[in-house]
Amino acid sequence: MNDQTNDDTKFDPETTVNEVNRGVCTSCGQPSARICIHCGQDFCSQHFCITHETATQREPVLDEDGTEHRGQRVRLIGEGWPNALQLIKDLSDEELEVRIAELQKLKAWAVQTNDYSTISIAAHEFERDYRKHSRYVAAIKRREKLVQGSVKLNNKKHTVGASSKSSIAPDIAALMKLGNLTYEQAIAMKSLLGKAKA
């Protein structure tokens, strides 16, 4: 092994640990004591990663016979729950009241955010669907005008000769009426039957 490195750059486990511990807590800004193994965020000894270490899972409430009841059971599945529950036990009565008030405010804010998101999503989806429907209705109206033989371009009425009913041959008109076909489908049908004139 080549020992051409300076004394300052040699591997020192104590220095490496200190480098890791130079981070600050994501929640309060105090020096970090540990890192969440899932997301890599720094936390002090008082805080935990809400996303990974205090995660929950919802399950339906079931009887022994498998009957499902109204409501859900919340399971604590995160790794940090035992430590978080111990911290709750260590709080004084005043700290408990403050924490409860903070959590109630947080829950109210979450409910308002959920309501706002739900209403906003519904409004955006309505606008999207309305635009789709408007384009569909406009296309149907244009098609009806073409079938009727007149189109309005630049505020002038134009007659479409090829698709007007007066210029349709009687045999094509009979096929259209008989098979409930469009003009193009009737012409294709006539050519398949071998009756089209070359």
Per-residue pLDDT of the chain (198 residues; tens, 9 = 90+): 444 444 455 555 454 444 444 678 877 888 887 777 777 788 787 777 766 666 677 788 888 888 888 888 777 776 666 666 667 788 889 988 998 999 899 899 999 999 999 999 999 999 999 999 999 888 888 777 776 666 666 666 655 554 444 467 777 788 787 878 888 888 888 888 774 454
Euclidean distance between CA atoms 198 and 189, whole angstroms? 15
Identify the three-state secondary structure at position 57. Answer: strand
pTM of this structure: 0.38
Task: Please tell me the predicted confidence (pLDDT) of residue 33.
Answer: 79
Ranges of H-type helices in the chain: 13-20, 81-90, 93-148, 170-179, 183-192
